[in-house]
Structure 1
């Protein structure tokens, strides 16, 4: 079910101004890759380019051995799912109805009823996200974490092997952040889905991702396992802050803590 996607030599811009340059990135099938970096570093633009929602100025993106632009829209929607930041909540829509929207790429243009395959896919997505007890609840009556799981379930119902998530933990409290990230981890481990996720919290990214790509000033400045990518020097280069980085002796997962230093006093006036 996993999907392979890679970008080579990408330059991405907005109105002629480049926001990312010389981007080479391959997502490992069945693993979680976290894209991290400061605001404006090009993380979300890169993710949108992988979803064919942003046209590169130069470079190429290859999906399962074919150029990304070679796919027809419905065919592409059967390969990858993309979940944007803070999607709008449709009024009065239940969880089950939202999840069923994910089946549109698999239905004929004139389809008026769901097939057995559609029902199985929706049921599987509800099970994977533990939303069956809430399936008939209106989406706007759910907690933030429950709503985010519902949006992920809709993406899962597409039955794609590639899931692209743009800041799925934004505006959630810590409990729901962890809940969403555990679900992402489960999708890769138990269902073999290839996941790329934009995150801001470095320690969460290190704890739940197999690999990390650190972006700064529109370039990837580090790439590898969390232990390889999340170093004192990389964090300083990307974020401009001093940190200490320790590693769990059993898991090897790094944890970074800012080193708060008082600014040096300005020199006295002559």
Structure 2
């Protein structure tokens, strides 16, 4: 049985549960239990505070955990980063009141900065040879300047709307973060085997999200040009149509290149283009 720790609430909880479901893992977590065993996969889930997850993984109470990279680096536990999950993206940034003129990181000299991430902030200040006072608080960091507790803050930023609401502006980005899968360094061979099975499922789900399945009709004289745009996993599937000189082409296109590829396909006389999401993609 592999033990995984995820947030019991907060910004990563919903996406973590969704990922397990997309991997075909069924949980019964009724009544907000703090522990749940999967029905159809050898995994047990612990629902914990995000700040505690690196410690639980390090102590081998949990074998693996899903946590923000910012928390992983702040806690600095000797555990492995196994997989970047791509959700929960944010950044750890320094912000100052809008009224302050700010030109460079040197303007932080002599200021008091409130944060819940003192380790990462201290390292950033030291790397930039800035002498500032770090005031560690556990929450509501964004209100610190307005109540006179600090001159600036260092906190997680997603859209920036919370900073704006509290009269702050983002001036330095310390770290770009996302949810990551971590693991204890001393997993048994049995647990490593289960983790590999889980990683296969996770990778198939994440790969599918980054690709689209595409079908189109095209004149045979343009197939070579179309193949250059749609390499597929190995090569496109081509089926002759009843109309002479035409074929149906099926392939996979990366989400990041999607619209650029579609525009070029139209230039090569592609017609009847159908695009579908991919549920799982095992490469």
Please indicate, yes or no, whether the TM-score normalized by the shorter chain is above 0.5.
no
Higher relative contact order (CA 8 A, sep 6+): 1
Larger Rg: 2
TM normalised by structure 2 equals 0.23
